[in-house]
Amino acid sequence: MIPLYHDFSDATVLVFGGGSVGARKAKRFAAEAEVVVVSPTFDDRFDADDFPAVDRIQAAPSIEDVPEWFDRVEPALVVAATDDGDLNAAVADVAAERDVLVNQTDHAGDRAVGSVVVPATVEDDPVSVAISTGGQSPALSRYLRQQIEAEIENAGAMAELTGQLREDLKASQPPAERREAIREVVRSPSVWKALHSGIAKAEHEATRVMAQDDHGDDGSDAE
Ligand SMILES: C[C@@]1(CC(=O)O)c2cc3[nH]c(cc4nc(cc5[nH]c(cc(n2)[C@H]1CCC(=O)O)[C@@](C)(CC(=O)O)[C@@H]5CCC(=O)O)C(CC(=O)O)=C4CCC(=O)O)c(CCC(=O)O)c3CC(=O)O
Ligand SMILES: NC(=O)C1=CN([C@@H]2O[C@H](COP(=O)(O)OP(=O)(O)OC[C@H]3O[C@@H](n4cnc5c(N)ncnc54)[C@H](O)[C@@H]3O)[C@@H](O)[C@H]2O)C=CC1
């Protein structure tokens, strides 16, 4: 499996199954996509105040009905999250026939060809870190996500700060110097610390660190 980030703007995701797993996946994809959930019953999680807008359709499709739902919703990705293994497998089969991405939630090892795994994700916009164990151990993905969450506090602010610095330096510095300056900033404990007091403080600290670097590192680190 190869990790990729996929843009789901303007795409529709169809979720079969409105249980706890269907709710978790629906919530995840609704951050960007239109989400349609088809299920005879819906978990209480769908009624939570912070649950995003999703289209809930109360129905209990049989295996024969599955293709019709693909016709009706035209999904870019489908999630098979019912508690009926045969139905989940049928959803994966139809997805494969139609070249639609499929996330089969009841399979860890023998996934359908072309299937996708939903990783555990740490987000600090615009930074995101995705973790997968190749389907082997979702509990480990979850644990590692919690560790990394603590580790990358302020990464989003650091991305914004260094993104801005890159733009500014493009006008005045050749690529090698620019690369070394940005590397110094992202490695600097004092800049990370200053981010706690806001982006303006961190900018000031970054400028100081880069000025110091002019007299120090030779920039030969080219990994
Ligand atoms: C293959 C995959 C397919 C997919 O869904 O994409 C899959 C499959 C299965 N999960 C199962 C169980 C659990 N899943 C979780 C949690 C998460 N599961 C997620 C992803 C994935 N789960 C994909 C692989 C990811 C990878 O590569 O590591 C996460 C990361 C993302 C998300 O779902 O949002 C999310 C954590 C999010 C977070 O916290 O950040 C927990 C932990 C808990 O709930 O505390 C348990 C109970 C403990 C355990 O069993 O490990 C079962 C058995 C069901 C049964 O026994 O009936 C199967 C099916 C099977 O194993 O056959
Ligand atoms: N990938 C993951 O992270 C995990 C996957 N699982 C697997 O996911 C599946 C679902 O787990 P839960 O959500 O906990 O189960 P659940 O029992 O809470 O939910 C199942 C849902 O499927 C619906 N459903 C039943 N027949 C249907 C039909 N014909 N069409 C559409 N929906 C239908 C039910 O009404 C219910 O809402 C199980 O197969 C389980 O093995 C379980 C835990 C974690």
Same domain, 177 and 104: no
Contact 62, 38 (CB under 8 A): no
Q: Output the CA 17–ligand 2 centroid distance in Å.
A: 5
**Host domain of residue 111:** 12-118
Query: In degrees, to the nearest 5, what angle opens at C-alpha 149 toward C-alphas 148 and 152?
Result: 75
Please tell me the residue having the least CA distance from ligand 1 atom 10.
Answer: 138
Please list, in sequence order, all residues whose beta carbon lies within 8 angstroms of the beta carbon of residue 132, skipping any fewer than 6 positions away. 1, 3, 117, 119, 120, 141
C-beta of residue 76 within 8 angstroms of C-beta of residue 11: yes
| Same-domain status, 141 and 168 | no
Which residue has the CA at smallest separation from atom 41 of ligand 2?
Answer: 106
Pocket of ligand 1 (CB under 6 A): 24, 28, 103, 105-108, 117-120, 132-135, 137-139, 141-142, 145
The CATH number linked to 35 is 3.40.50.720
Residue minimizing CA distance to atom 51 of ligand 1 = 139
Three-state DSSP at 19 gives coil
Indicate if 30 and 109 belong to the same structural domain. yes
Model ipTM?
Answer: 0.94
**Residue 43 alpha carbon to ligand 2 centre in Å:** 10
- As a whole number, mean pLDDT of residues 100-107 equals 93
- Which ligand is nearest to the Cα of residue 69, counting in written order? 2
Residues 169 and 148 in one domain: no
Is the distance from CB of 102 to CB of 114 less than 8 angstroms?
A: yes
Phi then psi for 99, rounded to 5 degrees? 55, 40
- Scan for tokens 């912070």, then name that residue: 50
Atom of ligand 1 nearest to the CA of 109: 62
- The verdict on residue 34 lying in a domain is yes
3-state secondary structure of 151: helix
What's the domain count of the chain? 3
* Domain assignment of residue 5, yes or no: no
Res 2: pLDDT: 87
Asked whether 148 and 141 are in contact (CB, 8 A), the reply is: no
How far, in Å, from the CA of 138 to the mean position of ligand 1? Answer: 4
In the chain, which ranges are continuous DSSP H helix?
20-30, 66-73, 85-97, 138-151, 155-172, 175-187, 189-195, 199-213
Q: Do 104 and 92 contact (CB within 8 A), yes or no?
A: yes
Examine the domain organization and report whether 90 and 23 are in the same domain: yes
Hey, which of 77, 105, 111 would you mutate to test ligand 1's pocket, going by the most ligand atoms within 8 Å of its Cβ? 105
In this structure, which ligand is nearest to the CA of 58?
Answer: 2
> What tens digit of pLDDT does each residue of 161-208 get?
999 999 999 988 899 999 999 999 999 999 999 999 998 999 999 999
By DSSP bridging, strand 101-104 and strand 77-80 are parallel
Instruction: Report the CATH number that the domain containing residue 132 is assigned in CATH.
Output: 3.30.160
- Is 106 found in the same domain as 36? yes
In terms of pLDDT, which residue wins out, 183 or 219?
A: 183
36 plus 109 within the same structural domain:
yes
Q: Interior CA angle at 168 toward 176 and 166, to 5°? A: 50
pLDDT confidence of residue 107: 83
Please indicate, yes or no, whether residues 100 and 21 belong to a single structural domain of this protein: yes
Q: What percent of the chain has pLDDT over 90?
A: 82
Does residue 29 sit in the same domain as residue 110? Answer: yes
- Using alpha carbons only, what angle is made at residue 39 by residues 98 and 31, rounded to the nearest 5 degrees? 70
0.90 cut: is pTM over it?
Answer: no
